[in-house]
Each structure stands twice: as C-alpha cells, then as structure tokens.
Amino acid sequence: MINALKDELSLYNLLRQIFLKEPSKYLIHDMNKIELTSGNQENSETKGPGEDMAGYGLRFMVEAIRKNENNLNEWIEDLAIEYARLFIGPQNPPAVPYASFYLSESHSLMTDETIDVRKQYLEAGMAVKELYSIPDDHIGIELEFIYYLTQKTIELFEQEQRDEAARLFEIRGNFLSNHMAQWVPLFVERILNSTGEDFYKGAAYMLRGAVEL
Amino acid sequence: MQVSRRVFLKYAGALSGLAALNKTGLVSLKHLSPAEAEAMQTSMGKYEVKYTADAMCPAECGMEMWVKDGKIAKIYGNKAVPMNDGIACAKGASGQQLVYSPYRLKYPMIRVGERGSGKFKRVTWDEAIDHIGLKLTDIKKKYGAESVIMDCGDVTDRDQYYRLFFAYGTPNTTEHGAICDVPRRHGPRLMVGGKRWEPDIMRPQLVRQSDGSLKKDYTYKSKLIVYNGWNPFVATRIFYENRGTVGAKVENGCKVVVIDPSYSNTATAADMWLAPRAGTDGDLFGAMLRYILENDNQNDPNKKYIDWSFKKYSTGWDDFEAAFKSWWGKKDPINGLSYFSLDWTADRTGLSKAQIEELSHLFGITKPAALVWGMQSPGHHYNGYCASIIGVALNVITGNFDAPGGVIDCELVKADKGGSATGKQFKKKKVKRNIDGKEVEGEVEHLHMDLFGSKYPAAWDDAVADYPNAFKEGVDVRYGPFRGHHYPIKAYILRTGNTVLTGSAPWKWKDAILAKDAKGNYKLELNVFIDTLNLESALYADVILPEASYAERQSLSDIYPSHQVIYNRDAVIKPLHECKKPTDIMNMLAKKLNELGDSDLKAADFWEKYKSEEDFVNEMLAPAPGRVNVGTPLPYPKYPEGYKLIGTPDSLEKGEVTIDNAKKVVKGKSVTVEWLRNNHGVAIWPMSWRRYKKHNADEPNKAFPNTSTKLIEFKFDWKDGGKRYGGYKSYNEKIEKAGGEVPLGLKEIGFTKFPETFFWFETKWNPHTNPEYKKYAKDYPFQLICGRVHHSMSGTQMIPWLGEIKTEGTWQPMNKEFEADVPEAMPMGDEPMKSMKKKFKANTYSVGSIWMNTDDAKKLGLKSGDLAVVENPLKKSTKGKVFVSGGIRPGIIKIGFATGGRFSPGMGPAYKSKDYTPSHNDLVDPDVLSPIMGFPGYADMIVKVKKA
C-alpha cells in the first residue's frame, strides 16, 4: 500500500508543478526522458483513455514533447502563452482554475466554498502562503495539498505513527472525493474543449485520472 | 488503512525517475505552528467593519464593508457620509462581483504577438517593471521625458502616478475628465474658477445654528431644478441628486424640468419634459437670457427676474451684456432670424415659442432655482462652451448662485486634497532643450503637449482625444520658452481607462497605436495598461499591470458635495492575486528608473518617503479642508472671516489651532487616515451659503470665488490700472508672446485670440443650426446622441445582475438566444457535479440598443428588435437592434455610451452580443475636437438608418 502511495506521490508532484505555473525548461527536458513502454507504442489519439486515464494523459504529454523535440525552447514559450490563455487571461480564461467558480452559485472567487477548502487545509495544519491574496482553492494549491498529505502519510506510516498517518490519509480521501472530484471533471472538460495543445490535453486527462484514482 | 485504486499507474515508475520531481518543497502552502493554527482557527468567522469609498461608479459613495476571513462578506452604505446618507445602490452592493470576478487581471503580463492579437504571457513583477523601466530610460535619453504620456483614466486614486511621472520629467499626465464633459465645465472654471454646478440638494448638511451648535439639516429649500442634458437618475456621478431631486419635490414642492431629446429616467420625475433637437442647448440658454433681460421688471412682482445685487459680487457684466446683445441685431444665415429671439430659438431647437417662453419665465421668477447642464449635453457638443457660459450667467443674475436651494459650484467648496503628494512641484524643474541648434531653458511644465502645443493652449483638462494624432505626428510646441520644439510621443501609459474604445473613434486609436515606422517598428514604442479589469485597450498593450481593486487600496473619495466632506477609501482587504497598490507600483518603477541611472527619481521622494500607502494618503490629507471661512452662517464664527481652514473638524471646533494672520490661515490638527478610521471614515466641516458675500454685510468678501479678482467674472481678459485680469488672460499672453500665432482650434472658428467676454459659434454636424451641414440633411435625417447606462459601462459590464436590468431605450432585453455552460444544481450523494448547457431565451438579457421614435421607425419599416445599420456621412457605420418608443424626439437616434460592439473578451456577456449591438464611438468624427480645449464632439453627428 505504501508503495502505491509512493507512486501517487510522483503523480501529484508532477501535476502540481504543471498546474501551478507555466512549465519550466527543466521540467520539459526532464519529461522528455520518460520512456514509453513497448506495450503502449500506438498513438494515444487512436487509443482511448481506457481505465488508466492518468497514464493515458502522461503518454499524451510525452508524445507532445517528442513532437516538438526539435524546437523545444520555442515550444516551451508557446506553452507559457497557452497556459496564460487557458488559466490566467488577460481575456476571459476558458478554464478558470479555481474550485469556487464551479461550485458556487455566483461563479466567483473567494466564496464560502473557498473558505471550506481553507478549513480543510487548517485541519491538516496547513495554510496558503499568500493567505487572503491567492484563493485557497486554485487547482495547483489543491494538488499541492494532496501531494503534501501523501508525502506526510508515507512519512508518518514509516515512522510508525499510524494514527496520525490514518488521520491525514482520511483528510486526503475526503478532500479528493468530496471536494476535488466535484469540480475537477468540469475543469478538465473546459480544458479539453478549449485547447489545441496536446500537452495540456494530456495534463487534463492525467488530472482527471489522478482525482478519480 | 486501505488504498483502493481501480487501475495501477503504468507510468509510475517512469515518473519516479524524474529529477524535476525531486524538488519536494512546498510552493504555495506552508505549515502552521500549533499556535498559528489555533490563532487562525479562533479568528475565523469573525466580522470586522471597515469604512471606505465606493468606486463601482464615479459617485464614490461612502460604504461600510464587513470583512470575514479576509474577504468582503457584506456591503452597506455608510450612514455617516452625506453623499449617500447610508444608501448602497445595486452597483455599490455588487462590489464583490468585481473584486472576486474570475476574469479580473491577476498577474503582470507581456505581449508576445502583434498588438491587438491578444497573445500574452505571464511575467513576474520584476520582469514587467524591468521592461517598462528600460523602455522609459531609453525614451527619455533619445527623445526627452515629455515623449511619455501618463493617462490616469477613469477612476480616482491617481496621485501616485502623477507624482511618478512629474518627477520623471513629463508634464503630460492626464485623467478621464479630458474625455468626460470638458465644455460643460468651461463656464464655471472661466467665470468663478470652479467646475461643476449642481443643485443644493445634498442632504443632510451640517449647519451652524444660531446658538453655536452644529446640526444635521435635512430641510430642502429648492423650488425649481432645471436639468438640461443631465440625467442624474442614470449617470450618478453626483449621487445625492437621485434622492435629493425626489426629496425636494415631495418635501418642498420643488418643480423639476428636464430638457432632453429622450424621455430619460430623470424625465420620469419631471413636471415638464422638453425635447429639443440635439446640440441646441446654447440656443435655448441664450433665449432664456434674452427673454429675462428683455422682460425683467423690478416693479412687477411677476416679472422680477433679476436680482441686481449680483453686480456687487461680480465684474464685467456690462461688457458681457453688450456683447450678448450685439448678436440680437444680427441675422442668422440659417433662418434669417435675430439671434436668441423666441422665433430664432423655436426654429433651431424645434420647441414651440410658448414652451421657450414658459421655461424662461418659470426660471426667472422661481426662487430658489438651479439651472444645471449635463455631461452628454452640452458637454459633448463642439460649442458647449457657449451654453456653459450662458448657464453660469443665468444662475448668477437671477440670484441663484450659492443661494440656499440654488446652485452650488461643488469644485469650489469641496475639501482640498492631494497637496505636495501629487508632485506638481516637480513640474517647476528647469530643463534644457536644443531648438534649431540653440539651447533653451524652461520648466518641465512648459513642455506640455496641449498647454504649449500648437492646437489647444487653453486645454487645462488636456486634449486626450487628440492623442492619436500625437502618436503619429508628434507634438509641435508653439508657445512658451520652448517655442519651435518638436517631439514625438513614444510611450502611453493608460491606467483604469479604455481610450481605445471611448477616447473618440476606436478606429482612429487603433490606427495610431498600430502605426509603424519605415523599419517596421511601432511608432508608439511603449503602450502599458494598468487596471483591475481587462478592457479593449489592454488588447493593444505591450505590458499589462494588475492594479489592486478599489477595495484593496487606500485613498480618498473624489466627490462633489455642497460643502467640505472627505472620506477614506480604506484598503478593506489585501490585494488579490498578484495585484499591487498604486503606491507600490509608483515606488517600484521609481526605484527601477533610479537603478537605471535616472537621478530625477530619488529615494527621498519615493520609496524612502512612502513606506506605506498610508504615508502617501496622509500627505494628501494635509491641506484638508483648505477652504476659506466664508458664507452665511459663517462656518466658524470664532475665526476670522476669509481665513483658510486646515485641520480636523474636532480640532477646529475645540479651538486647538494656530492662527497665522499674515497668511490668513487657521490651522488645527491635520486630518489623517487614522483620524478618519476613528470617525466612521469621514470628516465633515460646516455648510454655508452665499460664500462670495460677507456674512454680515452686503459686500463681497474678496476671498471667494477663485478668480483673478475674487469676484464672479463676466469678462475673460482685461486690463485695469496697469494690471491684467481674467480667465483667458494667460492664454492670450502666450499668443501675444508668440507674435500673434493663432492656435489651430481658434483658427477653426475664425478667432484670433481667446475672447474678452461673451462669444458664440456654431456646433458641427448640425444641419439645423450650422449652414455648412445643411446639404447632408436630406440623406442623413437623424441626429445621433449618446447617453450613459452607468450600470453597464466598462467597470460594471461583467456583473450579470446589473447587465440584465434594462435602462431607458439604450439597454434593452434584446439578446439573441445563447447557450452557456452552467453547472447543474448541487447533486445529491457522491455523484460528481456535471456541467450542462443552458439556453438563455431571446429577449431576456439586456444589451445595447438603438433608441428611435415610433413614427420614424414606421416610415423605415422598422419595429423593436429589428437589426438596423446606422451610417454617418463619413461612411462609418454600426449595427444594432432598434428600440422603438414615443419617448424620444422624432429625428433623434440615441445609443448608449460604450454599451455595444465590445470587441474584447473579458467583458462578460457584452462580448457575446458584439455583432448585433451598436458602438456609438464608431460613428464619432475624430476630427471634430472642440476649438477651445480639444474635446471630442461625441454628440455632434448625423446619420441615416436602414434595416440590416
């Protein structure tokens, strides 16, 4: 079980990096080193996501990197522009990356739903660094929260502090299924409907898979 | 503990090998210590009340915001502020929708595609400031600091930007007033040194009682209010006019007259609605003045129109009257009639002689009364200056100026603020320029593109609508010490404005911003957009800086009350996302410029001086209230009449002051942000009336108004005893020193200098009054006017609950059916929430519309909802749906200002309807810039209409 959690740790770690900000050269060059296993040589577009949505998404992203291997630096710039267009603006970003946009009646930011997220962070002894400025329920921050809980659970488990590990693990499970699973599919759908960039399509699939694990 | 997973990750192994994932530190979250966690736990859910000033619209009402968990939870009106007396309207109450909009600007961005392509990437503040700093440094070295324009745009809180750019060395800073209502303000500024004339209906007023105490007085005194082209029920810059107009009617039997070609919301409360042709305000005012002068009879109580005591408090009336009367003997080429006669006015305005006579008599005989003229008209006409000057004369000679229940110049009586924080002192810096091989010295302010430029040297509010020409052709300095100096405009920094859409004609602005030199580089080398919202102008920016919203920054209300009132705009919450406060932006840029070697930007003037925005605002507050102790009842009987008052209301009340008899100043304890916070956010000093008159004698106090003689001036340039006086004096001196060279604006109307007293010229594109345009009358039978829909302008477009509400005939539920993604209602159990497409039925959501008269529409075969094309003689056109009603004069078309054709996403629903909503600005003639101050003739146009 702990091995499974360790695998997930990498998954959430990658996802938080992808959704918190534009991909760095370092990350893309690194991801380019991922070897696609022989069983999955077919083009991902012809093969549906199937059950392993996260894996499918990862393959999508890696293939996108491979396609742009010859002009990676230019393409990384394109990714930054696409990240801004999708998630930031200045013109209406099609995939607003905050939970409250999807969950609140007003479709705005910093709603009661955001404060609920803040309370769950607090329950795990955590808070947003830029409290009151950056909405707590940004997708990247929520992913970082899951990443942190996963890491902490493993650590506590290995230190034989099983009760605390179990408590954090429960917070994690609740946060994933009662909160993230409620809005992330809507967010993912918006990304898929509005981007032509395979890297972000892949990221969207991977995110969906990660939330539905 | 169990991990249940449907599918094991096939690539988990591959991922764990990534070096990038070895970075395990937290980026956005932090651990709390147990004490921190507990503190946060206990503070959650608690309310804190903050007093602040609104900026959802220019009314800037006093607000009370309740903050919980770092966010605005509730918004109320602040009962302590007399501007709104506790009221929060729908706009004010919708503040959270702007502050917490998912579509506001969040991060600094730099353009990566061509201007207008909409391609941007996020950058850090350091990168953005670097980019701007390097460009500004380079521009200053190559072309001079004057090549940079800082346009502080729409709302308030702009002093930091003024300071920064004055210190940088450019005098070319401006604000939205330049494209708001300049001709309307002209008469007051010229004749009393003020700006806005509004009826005395702000209630409550704090009034000194005969026993020495102060009392909040709610009594209305007005008996007649005439609103000409002014629609305070919709365009709420002066918020108290909403309730005050109704209050005066109901509680004091005040009559209300509305003069407007359209049946405006304000007209619905009027006893008399007059609908003249557009652009004939001055004609009607002139007729009223002539009627009053011809029919005044001091011995007949029914014709005692004039209160001749005004002559004691003014100068130059005889000259003004003679110049005005000289027109009576002239025949107007358009109709062969004597100027300002009833026949002449009826012919030009389309009103009946009886209506004109009734209005003139009613205004002459009813006291107290207020004649008020508006932003759209005469503010938006080429010859609005004339109307504004006659308007001042009408109020003054009838004894209504600053009378209880009369009309008040709010600019003259509002509290002073800004002071040295604004940085005007930097404009006095000596600079040298090389002109035709000769080194010339002058002051920074002598480089001003308008005040010393070749076109509008009296443009004291700046000629923003002329900027596109300046971007392309540069500036010719023709007056002052730098005469002969030519410089290009290389940088345009726009903050909280949207000039590309509304600065005159959008196509002209786009053309100028996109213009390139022979090498293919943009002529305008730097275009920066600073705002909380994304507007059309941002599409053309090179750098976008996200500014803290009005609830996230500290400043002061910018309002027009009837006596000195000032209130805090408190920073209610922390700036969201990566938005920054004006003070921080100022300091960052100043520091960067300094690092790049610009010694004009000093630590002691910026980042070391202003450690916080509160430091800056305290300096702004230092001169408050800064008005003289004048009027009846005397505000402070214990202090000498005519002395300037400075300090908090309580220190002045308690006598905790020093009196400087040499300078005639009474100084108490300075008003500070802290003082305001402790006093419901607001400082209020006492009201008085007839502030031009000694409180206990019928003679002028020579301390008010703010003119060269401290009297009301009907002359604008004259000599007396070897000295020269008047509001146009300095501009004529410039012309004389330049060998009589006539500026472009004056040339257009055949003047050789600024007039010495009453003057008259015709407006543009009006075939009913200007013979030049008669030839267009048949093919372009409609006059086009515009009006505001304040709840759906740039700053409020994105708020659905405001946008949906219809307004007059210019904002109607005429949407096409549209589909939008809407999340389904919260599902039960564990089912994830799904999004669903929802259809919004046609005609359920308000959009910009074209308002026209029923008979006109019938003749054209149009009915409400039909799509029509509106075209002008310049062959520019716009498309929109018509709204047909009897509530508009035949021959008039009205379109809301900036309601349609919104071409940038980011504007919420308005963008979706851009293809079938009209853009009034597309039809504006950008070459019609009014001759005195270069203001666009927004409402001077004729059009034809046909079914699309």
> Chain A closest CA to B377's CA: distance in Å?
34
- Give the nearest partner residue to B21 out of A14, A166, A181, using CB atoms: A14
3-state secondary structure of B434: strand
pLDDT computed for residue B17 by the predictor: 74
pLDDT tens-digit map of B816-849: 987 765 555 555 666 655 556 667 789 988 899 9
What pLDDT does residue B905 have? Answer: 77
- The number of C-alpha atoms within 13 Å of B702 and in the hemisphere containing its C-beta is 3
Predicted pLDDT at B836: 62
CATH number, domain at A59?
1.10.3480.10
* Burial of B16 (C-beta count, 10 Å sphere; 0-12/13-18/19+): middle
Interface touch A186/B834, C-beta < 8 Å: yes
pLDDT tier, A55 (very low <50, low <70, confident <90, very high otherwise): confident
What token pair was written down for B378?
Answer: 């005469």
Chain-chain contact of A128 with B6 (C-beta, under 8 angstroms) = no
- CB-CB: which of A92, A131, A181 is closest to B103? A92
Cross-chain Cβ contact B906/A92 below 8 Å: yes
pLDDT tier, B19 (very low <50, low <70, confident <90, very high otherwise): confident
Torsion of CA B97, B99, B103, B105, to 10 degrees: 160
* Nearest residue on chain B to A173, alpha-carbon basis: B3
**Chain A residue closest in CA terms to B116:** A91
Spatial distance between the Cα atoms of B354 and B847, rounded to a whole number of angstroms: 38
| Under 8 Å between Cβ of B67 and B73 | yes
Chain B CB contacts of A152 under 8 Å are none
Q: Which two structure tokens, joined as six digits, stand for B831?
A: 């089912």
Residues of A in Cβ contact (< 8 Å) with B106? 88-89
| Residue B693 scores a pLDDT above 50 | yes
Q: Is A73 on the interface with B (CB under 8 A)?
A: no
**Top-level class of domain B778-947:** mainly beta
- pLDDT tens column, B369-424: 999 999 888 999 999 999 999 999 999 999 999 999 999 999 999 999 999 999 99
Cross-chain residue pair A141–B29, CB shorter than 8 Å: yes
Q: How confident is the model at residue B747 (pLDDT cuts 50, 70, 90)?
A: very high
Percent of chain B at pLDDT above 90?
88
Interface touch A37/B10, C-beta < 8 Å: yes
What tokens does B181 get? 């209502």
The structural domains of chain B, with segments of one domain joined by +, span 46-99, 109-180+419-558+565-615, 216-413, 620-684, 716-748, 778-947
Nearest CB partner across the interface for A122, out of B24, B41, B834: B41
Nearest alpha-carbon partner for B714 in B256, B319, B442? B319
- pLDDT, tens digit (0-9, with 9 covering 90-100), for B639-683: 999 999 999 999 999 999 999 999 999 999 999 999 999 999 999
pLDDT of residue B7 exceeding 60, the answer is no
Chain A (170-189) residues lying within 8 Å, Cβ to Cβ, of chain B:
177, 181-183, 185-186, 189
pLDDT in tens, B760-784: 999 999 999 999 999 999 999 999 9
Out of B20, B41, B101, closest to residue A108 by CB: B101
Q: Class of the B109-180+419-558+565-615 domain?
A: alpha beta
Contact between residue A78 and residue A197 where contact means Cβ atoms under 8 Å apart: yes
CB contact under 8 A, B121 and A31: no
Q: What is the DSSP string of A34-90?
A: PPPPGGG-S-TTTS---S-HHHHHHHHHHHHHHHTGGGHHHHHHHHHHHHIIIII-S
Inter-CA distances, B132 with B167, B203, B491, B583, Å: 16, 46, 10, 17
Query: Could you say which residues from 102 to 121 on chain A have a Cβ atom under 8 Å away from some Cβ of chain B?
Result: 102-103, 106-111, 114-115, 118-119, 121
User: Residue A10 and residue B18: Cβ atoms within 8 Å?
Assistant: yes
Cβ contact A118–B29 (<8 Å)? no
Interface probe, candidates A18, A77, A79, A110, chain B, greatest B C-beta count within 10 A: A110
Looking at residue B832, its pLDDT comes to 56
Six-digit token string for B836: 């669903």
Q: What is the CB neighbour count within 10 angstroms for residue A122?
A: 18
pLDDT of residue B794: 66
Subunit contact A115:B3, Cβ cutoff 8 A: no
| Residue A92 near chain B (CB below 8 Å) | yes
Whole-number pLDDT of residue B835 = 57
Does A135 contact B at CB distance below 8 Å?
Answer: yes
Q: pLDDT for A146-164, tens place per residue?
A: 999 999 999 999 999 999 9
Q: CA torsion B278→B281→B283→B285, rounded to 10°?
A: 160
- Minimum mean pLDDT range among A12-26, B16-30, B121-135, B285-299: B16-30
Q: To the nearest whole angstrom, how far is the Cα of B110 from the nearest Cα of chain A?
A: 10
Q: Which of B20, B118, B904 sits opposite A30 (nearest CB)?
A: B20
**Interface contact B122-A88, CB threshold 8 A:** yes
Distance of CA A207 to the CA centre of its chain: 5
* Chain A residue whose CA is closest to B24: A13
CATH class of the region B216-413: alpha beta
Q: What is the mean pLDDT of chain B?
A: 94
Residue A134, chain B, CB below 8 Å: the answer is yes
CB contacts under 8 A, B 879-918 vs A, are 904-906, 908, 911
**A26 contacts B15? CB cut-off 8 A:** no
- Quickly count: other Cβ atoms within 10 Å of residue B76's Cβ: 15
pLDDT at B834: 59
Residues of chain A positioned with their CB less than 8 A from the CB of B906? 89-92
Q: Chain A closest CA to B504's CA: distance in Å?
A: 23
Q: For residue A195, give how far its alpha carbon lies from the nearest alpha carbon of chain B (Å).
A: 14
3-state secondary structure string, B494-528? EECCCHHHHCCCHHHHHHHHHCECCCCCECCCEEE
Strand partners, B477: B453
CB–CB of B29 and A129 under 8 A? yes
User: Is B7 part of the contact surface with chain A (CB cutoff 8 Å)?
Assistant: yes
> Does residue B832 have a cis peptide bond before it, meaning omega lies within 30 degrees of 0?
no
Place of tokens 């905790």: B656
B109:A88 CB<8 A? yes
Nearest CB to A183; choose among B28, B833, B905: B833
Per-residue pLDDT band for B154 (boundaries 50, 70, 90) equals confident
Q: Which CATH architecture has domain B46-99?
A: 2-Layer Sandwich (3.30)
Residue A45 near chain B (CB below 8 Å): no
Please indicate whether, in this complex, the C-beta atoms of B823 and A102 are within 8 angstroms of each other: yes
User: Which chain B residues are Cβ-neighbours of A158 within 8 angstroms?
Assistant: none
CA B645 to chain CA centroid, nearest Å: 28
Residue-averaged pLDDT of chain A: 92
What are the tens digits of pLDDT across the range B911-929?
889 999 999 999 999 999 9
For the question of an ipTM over 0.90, the answer is yes
For residue B4, the model assigns a pLDDT of 38
- Read off the pLDDT of residues B298-355 as tens digits, 9 standing for 90 and up: 999 999 999 999 999 999 999 999 999 999 999 999 999 999 999 999 999 999 999 9
Least confident of A48-62, B569-583, B844-858: A48-62
Percent of chain A with pLDDT over 90: 81
Chain A residues whose CB is inside 8 A of the B905 CB are 91-92
Q: What is the pLDDT of residues B508-534, one digit of tens each?
A: 999 999 999 999 999 999 999 999 999
Domain extent for A34: 2-211
Closest in A13, A88, A127 to B32, CB measured:
A127
Closest to B9 in 3D by CA, of A16, A198, A59, A183: A59
